[in-house]
Chain A
Amino acid sequence: MAKLYSKKKLASTKMLPKKETIQFILNYSKALRIVKIGNMNFETIAN
């Protein structure tokens, strides 16, 4: 059978962000708390 010598595609065709990015977003979401007092918003990030 004829061999294919064309280069293997380096990037996978499916476009997905990195797992770390998703994990960061979810963790950020869990850590962030916004409290509204009067006109002001207070952000707290639980570490």
Chain B
Amino acid sequence: MAKSQTPDAVLVQMYISGNEDALATLINRYQSRIFGFIYSKVNDRDIADDYFQETFIRVIRTLKTKEYYNEKGKFLPWVMRIANNLIVDDFRKNKNIKMMRDTEEYSIFSFIKDVTPSVESNLISSQISFDLHKIIDELPLDQQEVLKMRFFQDMSFKEIAEATNVSMNTSLGRMRYAINNMRKIIEKNNIYLSA
């Protein structure tokens, strides 16, 4: 293991002058510490792998350009700084977008629900309203009138009484009869109006 004793600075120089094995040695020497450093920030192995890869891509490009890197025996802190900057940059970019991962015990769909009515519930509610109108049509006309004014036109009993030219008590009574009659029709014909 003579190679692992070679100082970082020498390995970096060897790599810059074209020795690819020097990079492999450097990665082998520090992979655990760099990966651990990244993992301690992101807490996810796959994401840590991505950052690890991205970090070394930057390292390789910088070393191959031979421009920005001045070796002073500080290879590891330099790589860690790159990794840290990458993570911080991404964190800033993503800080307004919350990311969640689906796991077995936690699913995003237990929080978010599709509130639009399904085809089935649309069918059911149209069936219910169809049945209801049929039942209303069975009622005597004066009761129908009060019921429709109250529920479909949202009129008060006072307004209904004025409009139909009867007393308020009469319209209240008609409403009561209307509802009782509807109950009877529903019971008699075994109609289910709930979804």
Contact B35 A25 (CB under 8 A): no
Given contacts A26-B23, A41-B65, whether A21 and B49 have CB atoms under 8 Å apart is yes
Interface of B is mostly: helix
Interface assignment of B180: CB less than 8 Å from any CB of chain A: no
Contact with A along B27-53 (1 / 0, CB 8 A): 100011001100100000100110011
Q: Are B53 and A24 neighbours in the complex by a CB distance under 8 Å?
A: yes
A14, A15, A24, A41: residue with the most chain B Cβ atoms closer than 10 Å = A15
Number of interface residues of B (CB under 8 A): 21
Report the minimum CB–CB distance from B43 to chain A (whole Å).
Answer: 11
Chain A contact residues: over half helix, strand or loop, or mixed? mixed
Chain A contributes a number of interface residues (CB within 8 A of B) equal to: 20
Q: Does B24 contact A (CB under 8 A)?
A: yes
Q: Say whether B60 faces chain A, with CB atoms less than 8 Å apart.
A: yes
Q: Which of A16, A21, A41 contacts B32 (CB 8 A)?
A: A16
Contact of B95 with A by CB under 8 A: no
Residue B177 at the chain A interface, CB threshold 8 Å: no
Q: Is the CB of A32 within 8 A of B23?
A: no
Contacts of A30 in B (CB 8 A): 20
Q: Which chain B residues have a beta carbon within 8 Å of chain A's beta carbons?
A: 20, 23-24, 27, 31-32, 35-36, 39, 45, 48-49, 52-53, 56-57, 60-61, 64-66
CB distance from B161 to the nearest CB of A (A): 74
The one of A11, A17, A25, A41 that contacts B57, using a Cβ cutoff of 8 Å: A25
With CB as the reference atom, state the residue of chain A lying closest to B40: A15
Which of A11, A15, A18, A25 is B27 in contact with, Cβ under 8 Å?
Answer: A25
The interface residues of chain B lying within 8 Å CB-to-CB of A41 are: 65
Of chain B, the residue at the smallest CB distance from A20 is B49
25 contacts between A and B (CB under 8 A): A14-B32, A15-B32, A15-B35, A16-B31, A16-B32, A16-B35, A17-B35, A17-B49, A18-B49, A21-B52, A22-B27, A24-B53, A25-B53, A25-B56, A26-B23, A28-B57, A29-B20, A29-B23, A29-B56, A32-B60, A34-B61, A34-B64, A36-B65, A36-B66, A43-B61
A33 CB to nearest chain B CB (Å): 7
Q: What residues on B are CB-neighbors of A33 within 8 Å?
A: 64
Q: A25 to B142, alpha carbons, bound, how many Å?
A: 86
Chain B residues with CB below 8 A from A34, complex form: 61, 64-65
